[in-house]
Amino acid sequence: MAGDFNTVLTPVECLGGNTTDAEMEHFQESVSLCCVEDLQATGALFTWSNKKEPIHRVYSRLDRGMGNHEWLLEYGDYMVHFHPEGIFDHCPCTIVHKRTELSGRKSFKYFNMWGQSPHFKDCVKSVLERRYSGTEMYQLVKKMKALKPVLKSLNKNCFSDPD
């Protein structure tokens, strides 16, 4: 099962705001009675925020994916990925196969030599001037993702040796 449980299991799953022990104990008892546990999760640690100004902002892990022992034995190679919150107060999530998630992408690496190119600053500036809607963190993530193919192209055109 996956979804918004409207409470946290432990106090460390909440930053700012107040969570009562009674709420957590009730949820802990329910999880125990149902014999379920969290699936492995990646992405955003806190899956909900109240979207208020930073000084009044509250972050919590209200959303989760869970399975019972039998389900985990059968489908234990799946995990939950929480995406950036974007314009909504909850982070969207997807349940993904671990092998698909782990084998698909290589991590991005920045090479200092790119800074030597006369085109480098213009490439970076063109991407950073783009406008995206959403939280500041979401906008930054979008810009960083847009920058990756630009820098890969710069690398290919200016620094690859065709011989």
> What pLDDT, in 10s, does the model give residues 75-90?
888 899 999 888 889 9
Give the model confidence (pLDDT) of 117-136 as tens digits.
Answer: 898 999 899 999 999 888 88
Assign domain 2-104 to a CATH class: alpha beta
Interhelix angle for 136-159 vs 120-128, to 10°? Answer: 150
Q: With cut-offs at 50, 70 and 90, classify the pLDDT of residue 115.
A: confident
Query: Which residue is associated with the tokens 């992408």?
Result: 105
Residue 105 is predicted with a pLDDT of 61
Element (H, E) at 21: helix 21-34
Domain ranges of the chain: 2-104, 112-159
The predicted pLDDT at position 107 comes to 65
Note whether 117 and 77 are within 8 A (CB).
Answer: no
| CA atoms lying within 13 Å on the CB side of residue 95 | 14
Q: Do residues 38 and 1 lie in contact, with contact meaning Cβ atoms separated by under 8 Å?
A: no
DSSP 8-class letter at 83: P
